[in-house]
A = this chain, B = another copy of it.
Amino acid sequence: MRISEAAARSGLSIDTIRYYERTGLAPPAGRGADGQRRFSSENVEWLTLLASLRETRMPMKQMRRFAWLYQQGHASVAERKRMLLEHADHLERQRAALDRCAELLRYKLAKYDEIMGDGA
């Protein structure tokens, strides 16, 4: 498939996909006879994983390392596992941050309601 479809399926923008390729985060996509990129479903699966990791703030540096490990094949599985476990840990902390923020918002909103009077 072409880049627009890969973008739609992975959730990344077209520009971001090209940027990820340039910076070694995604492997260079194959090209058709017209010189344009063609993405396989594995390509898209990888992009989707990248999208999810980025959305949850894994730094590009780590992702580049992860991508590099991936290209080393099975021998790197143990370290990739370690990286994903570490990221899972970050997810927990982000959840905690969300909880704290939600709590703070509840508190502020309650104060606003007081100020505005119960009717408002």
Q: Which of A1-9, A19-27, A34-42, A107-115 contacts B (4 or more CB under 8 A)?
A: A107-115
- The reply to whether the CB of A14 lies closer than 8 angstroms to some CB of chain B is no
Q: Name A80-120 residues within 8 Å CB distance of B.
A: 80-81, 84-85, 87-88, 91, 94-95, 97-98, 100-102, 104-105, 108-109, 112-113, 115-116, 120
For the complex, give the distance between the alpha carbons of A34 and B24 in Å: 50
Q: Which residue on chain B has the smallest CB distance to residue A113?
A: B81
Contact of A88 among B49, B84, B85, B102 (CB under 8 A): B102
Contact of A81 among B94, B97, B100, B116 (CB under 8 A): B116
Q: Are B105 and A84 in contact (CB under 8 A)?
A: yes
Oligomer copy total: 2
Q: Are A115 and B77 in contact (CB under 8 A)?
A: yes
Q: Are A98 and B105 in contact (CB under 8 A)?
A: no
What would be 21 A-B contacts, judged by CB atoms less than 8 Å apart?
A: A49-B108, A52-B97, A52-B100, A52-B101, A53-B101, A55-B97, A55-B101, A56-B98, A56-B101, A77-B112, A84-B105, A84-B108, A84-B109, A84-B112, A85-B109, A87-B105, A88-B102, A88-B105, A88-B109, A95-B98, A98-B98
